[in-house]
A and B are shown apart, each in its own frame.
Chain A
Amino acid sequence: MNKSGINLYIGGLLVGVLLVVALIGMVWTPHDPLAMNFAARLAAPGAAHWLGTDEFGRDQLSRLMQGAATSVKISALTVIFAVVSGTVFGVTSGFLRGWVDRVIMAVNDVLLAFPGLLFALGLLAVIGATEYGIILSLGLIYMSSVVRVVRGTVLGLRTREFVEASAVMGNASLFTMWRHILPNCVAPLTVLATSICGWSILAESSLSFLGLGVAPPAPTWGNMLASSRGFLDQAVWLVVFPGLSISLSLLGINLLGDALRDLLDPRMRKRA
């Protein structure tokens, strides 16, 4: 099996598990993730609580499952927001050029120049630390890199002969953009989208860790990590499992992204 085949299987498996766990976590968890049980404080993993309990005796597996649901939802919506808006601005900018390009790129460069998390923190302080606030602020940050990538790709494609051939054939610019330019942006976009997916899981965890993400007691991987800090010496599983969840999800998403890029590109699909 070749490299991208292995990537596809491992990545697909990890992301599949993440999605299944997130889906189940939305409707059912073994225990109530918010129910406290002081009799079972900091219980080690065992038959009653498979992954142990936290300082309030809440079941960690249930909390992780619900956290997965939150993470997946936030990162999926962030990716959609960033990719769609970024592609619209990027293609417009690269294809029309002129002053439209200059305005869009000036605004975009300002966004790009801001430290991402700082920008998100500022925005969240203004609009409030809700799920949608996080999606909007992370989406805006990542949009700027999508705009950059798409504009660059479009600029490169514009001068390619098949785009000129389309103009010679008498096709309208809008058709050329849709038929020839957008499909050729898919490969770089897929890679970027999967990276954004990973970054947003990480950023959401960081924001929650800093206390500006999804507000406790609702569990996310980030705030679980944050609250486990004080109990590192007594209950190491409180750090290990949320940490593992984040790392394995990121690994899966990145592997899947690589494999998808190869699959989506007809040039890579079949080498006779």
Chain B
Amino acid sequence: MTKAPLLEIANVTLGVPALHVTIVRNASLHVAPGEVVGIVGESGSGKTMLGRAVIGLSPQPVRLIDGDIRFRGRAFRDMNAEEMRAIRGPGVSMIFQEPMTSLNPSMSVGRQMEEGLALHGGIDAAERRRRILAMLERVGIGDGARMLKAFPHEFSGGMRQRIMIASAMLLRPALLIADEPTTALDAVVQRDIMDMLAELTREYRTAVMLISHDLSMVARYADRIVVMQHGDIVEAGDKEVVLSAPKHDYTRKLLSSLPARAPSRPEIGDDPLISVEKLGVSFVRRGGLFSRDTVKNAVRNVSMDIRPGEVVAVVGGSGSGKTTLARAIAGLTDYQAGTIRFCGLDLSDPKGEARARYRKQCHMVFQDPFSSLDPRMKVGALIAESLRILPQIPKSDHARLVTEALLDVSLDPKLVERYPHQLSGGQRQRVAIARALVRRPSFVIADEAVSALDVTVRAQVLSLLADLQRKYGFACLFITHDFAVVEQIADRVVVMQDGMIVEQGTRDAILDTPQHPYTLKLLSAIPMLEPTETGGLRLKWRHAPETAAVLQS
């Protein structure tokens, strides 16, 4: 490295002195001008706190306990509030994870974007407007003049993130901190935005500190990778080196958590357990006094079968109707057209005999283990509740079955006395799985069941689910946006777009020889890490993006 670093973090320790908590320990790293440094770690690894410290926006109780953060050679320690403010914006800028909340909902987009320029730029209003319009165009938002007057709620998540990026880049910062910039977005949008961000920062020679839990995403865009665990930087180096020859155990664990494709299983030819025929779900939004009701068709004309013991994955971008489909099959959402059959019995009557039987045979695992467990019930009671409506199981057996269920999901049976908030995210999701499986269902619906978990935990929970599926042989409908999950667990794949099934088939057929352009587009949006002969990994796109583009047009 010949150039002087733009940002230098030297032996930085961050913590909350009052509670004797250390968040980041003795971290050192540097960012050269124009360089993209990826910081990878799980939640609680301190990566976000480090990023915030760099822009001087640590949350209230967090202090810089030791070490120095130097920007262009000057230590933050020596700067007063005035000087820090001058750095924020043109020096260091930041984009946040949640575009829904990081824009002020009561201010028009134009005014929000103008704020920074007015503060730092020293340029007149006409010039500001010209620059904002140019930047909006640059980030892919057309009709800028009209958009300036619009408010954040009028934009989708992806558009808002584009606006965030545009307002951060307006000041041409020397360093941009991007904290999980696309985590809240679906894969296709994520790729478009990251490509745009990469291009824009390259053009402006802006260095980027890319903070993410998603190793493959960081590997795609970063020059160097820094791996953090429990507040320590455990490994740092050039991307190729870290990926191909990881030195630290934790990095190896992270790399190995990327799911590999499980061997495919013979197709099951039995009668379908669940059979969905021409299903249609629509939501009616009641109009006002003078406006008509509007109808949104969330699921249209969907037909699919799930055979006993089979894992069917439903994939699609956000708004594709995959969750609505799962909820309709679970009986949580009414459907207006078509039929759902369980073992050949029509489930349309909510009070009917068939529905009652189905209820006892079906269970669901939700996305967010923080909200799917009643916060006021202990783990034991939560799991036992699942046995309540099964009259054939005597109450005296409940405790034993709960213990067995906890052992099945590799949790200590002593946890029955705990409340959900005393467990980690992974433990909670295991409890949710135990609750679903304790009644030995023949059918389980998993709605993004591992998406909310950290990478390594996700891999554990997923392989646990796959093991249990093999052990108990339940059929499973797995809703996901993550193809890595599909590779590891699915037998068949259903691809949805705009409420309709565009393609379905065996996993290998869909992943290797996709037919529909949308499937191809989904697949090509996801960078994949492929094991190399030397034990490391290298980055690979599943399908060349050019092919997707050609197919699209």
Contact = CB atoms under 8 A, between A and B. Distances in A.
Interface of A: 160-162, 164-171, 179-180, 183-184, 186, 266-267, 270, 272
A171 B362 CA distance: 13
Interface string B361-400: 0111011100111111100000001101100000000000
7 contacts: A166-B374, A168-B332, A168-B359, A168-B363, A266-B419, A266-B421, A270-B422
A183 B331 contact: no
Interface SS, B side: loop
B363 A169 contact: yes
Interface string B409-438: 000000000010110000000001001000
Given A170-B360, A179-B385, 14 more contacts: A162-B375, A164-B364, A164-B372, A167-B331, A168-B359, A168-B362, A168-B363, A169-B388, A183-B376, A184-B375, A266-B421, A267-B375, A267-B421, A270-B422
Interface residues of B, number: 29
B118 to A, nearest CB: 39
B160 to A, nearest CB: 23
Contacts of B234: none
A161 B359 CA distance: 17
Contacts of B544: none
A184 B356 contact: no
A161 B372 contact: yes
Nearest to B386: A169
Interface in B316-341: 330-332
Among all A-B residue pairs, the 9 with the closest Cβ atoms: A170-B359, A161-B372, A161-B366, A162-B374, A168-B364, A170-B389, A183-B376, A266-B419, A267-B421
Contacts of A180: 374, 377
Contacts of A266: 375-376, 419, 421
A164 B419 contact: no
Nearest to A269: B419
Contacts of A267: 375, 419, 421
A165 B449 CA distance: 13
A160 B371 contact: yes
B19 to A, nearest CB: 11
Contacts of B385: 166, 169, 171, 179
B376 A184 contact: yes
B359 A169 contact: yes
Contacts of B372: 161-162, 164-165
A162 B356 contact: no
B477 to A, nearest CB: 13
B384 to A, nearest CB: 11
A272 B386 contact: no
Interface in B431-469: 432, 435, 445
A36 B85 CA distance: 73
B80 to A, nearest CB: 33
B361 to A, nearest CB: 10
B121 to A, nearest CB: 44
Contacts of B371: 160-162
Contacts of A160: 371
A95 to B, nearest CB: 16
A165 B364 contact: yes
B422 to A, nearest CB: 7
Contacts of B386: 169
A117 to B, nearest CB: 35
Contacts of A169: 359, 363, 385-386, 388-389
A162 B436 CA distance: 12
Contacts of A171: 385, 388-389
Contacts of B332: 164, 167-168
A272 B388 CA distance: 32
A176 to B, nearest CB: 10
B479 to A, nearest CB: 14
B419 A161 contact: no
Nearest to B371: A161
Nearest to B387: A169
Contacts of B388: 169, 171
B43 to A, nearest CB: 17
Contacts of A164: 332, 364, 366, 372
B290 to A, nearest CB: 20
B419 A170 contact: no
Contacts of A183: 374, 376
Nearest to A184: B376
Nearest to A175: B388
A270 B332 CA distance: 34
Nearest to B369: A161
A255 B371 CA distance: 30
B265 to A, nearest CB: 27
For A161, A179, A183, A184, the residue with the greatest tally of chain B CB atoms inside 10 Å of its CB is: A161
A171 B388 CA distance: 8
A150 B388 CA distance: 27
Nearest to B378: A266
B331 to A, nearest CB: 7
A166 B445 CA distance: 14
A270 B421 CA distance: 9
A171 B439 CA distance: 14
A165 B366 contact: yes
Contacts of B422: 270, 272
Contacts of A270: 422
Nearest to B366: A161
A142 to B, nearest CB: 25
A170 B366 CA distance: 16
A203 to B, nearest CB: 32
